[in-house]
Chains A and B, each alone.
Chain A
Amino acid sequence: MFISNLETIPGMKIVEHYGLVTGSTVRARNVFVDIGAMLKSLWGGELKGYTKLLYSTNEVALQRLEAQAEAMGANAVVNVRYATSSVALGASELYAYGTAVSVE
């Protein structure tokens, strides 16, 4: 599975379009990470807990995107974009979307 935020996969030709595929995940922060971040904000520095959460959220969103594209019979997703939104207090969404295509 090729995933790219370009409009094509370089060096390959798009032979079929399958339409938009999306992958989204809504996550809540955990309270221990929150407390850690508040303590950390006294002296500053990287909030490792939040960074880890960001990475795992992104992974899940991309997995769902890939699964959807696979189900359509595509072998690549092009023009991937990210959007974020806050759904409710303490819960936020990472949304990845792109176009499922067949390349060769």
Chain B
Amino acid sequence: MEFGSDFWGQVFLFFFEYGNSGLFLLALAIGLIVGSWIERRHYRSIIQREQAGVGLPVVSIGKKGETRKAVQEVRLVVGMASISTDFFKRLMGSIISIFGGEIRAYESLVDRARREALLRMREQAKGADLLVNVRVENSNLFISAGQRYAIGSVEVMAYGTAITYEK
């Protein structure tokens, strides 16, 4: 069980040894209540912004340079997001990983991070007519690299080329 390897796991195992399980339960409650509230709020904002930005076509295929219209501007747009999970879900995840199977809590975490990064990329491309050659990458730049305690979070980087046609 990898539970002991994360920061809060270490902290609460330390308190557990001294017979203070109240703090542990408090952390679980904070994770469950505040964590799921934050997630719901985040999903609401993601869905709202996704619906607001439907006008801009975003494709993951490249464009070979031939366009029917004259091109005014071409630029690289990048969107990034780093999202952390909460204590309750991390505990659930480590319990499920004993028996194996699907960890729903982590699926929603990566889903949120990807959609957020894609949305930010799209916001940067505001005013463009087409967004092509979109790539999504897990960057792991500041979170996993050489971290002593895993904090259960993901970094996602989405980039593509925004094309604006001449009006």
- A26-65 residues with Cβ-Cβ distance < 8 A to B are 27, 29, 33, 37-38, 40-47, 50-51, 53-55, 57-58, 62
- CB within 8 A of A54: which of B62, B64, B89, B139? B139
Residues of chain A at interface, number, CB under 8 A:
42
Closest CB of chain A to B59's CB: distance in Å?
12
> A12 at the A/B interface (Cβ < 8 Å)?
yes
Secondary structure class of chain B's binding surface, majority of residues: mixed
Verify A57–B76 contact, CB threshold 8 A.
no
Please tell me if A3 contacts chain B, counting CB pairs below 8 Å: yes
Q: Are B71 and A89 in contact (CB under 8 A)?
A: no
Partner of A10, one of B8, B65, B89: B65
Which residue on A lies nearest to B36, using beta carbons? A44
A78 to B116, CA, bound (A): 26
Find out whether the CB atom of B159 lies under 8 angstroms from the CB atom of A42: no
Which of B13-21, B47-55, B96-104, B147-155 lines the interface with chain A? B147-155
Contact A44 B76 (CB under 8 A): no
B8–A42 contact, CB under 8 A?
yes
Interface range, B side: 35 or more
Interface string of A1-26 (1 = CB under 8 A from B): 01111111111100000000000000
- Give B1-58 interface residues, CB cut-off 8 Å to A: 6-8, 27, 30-31, 34-35, 38-39, 42
The interface residues of chain B lying within 8 Å CB-to-CB of A42 are 8, 27, 30-31, 86-87
A86–B141 alpha-carbon span in the complex (Å): 7
Q: Could you say which residues of chain B place their CB within 8 Å of the CB of A74?
A: none
Identify the A interface with B (CB < 8 A).
2-12, 27, 29, 33, 37-38, 40-47, 50-51, 53-55, 57-58, 62, 80, 82, 84, 86, 88-92, 94
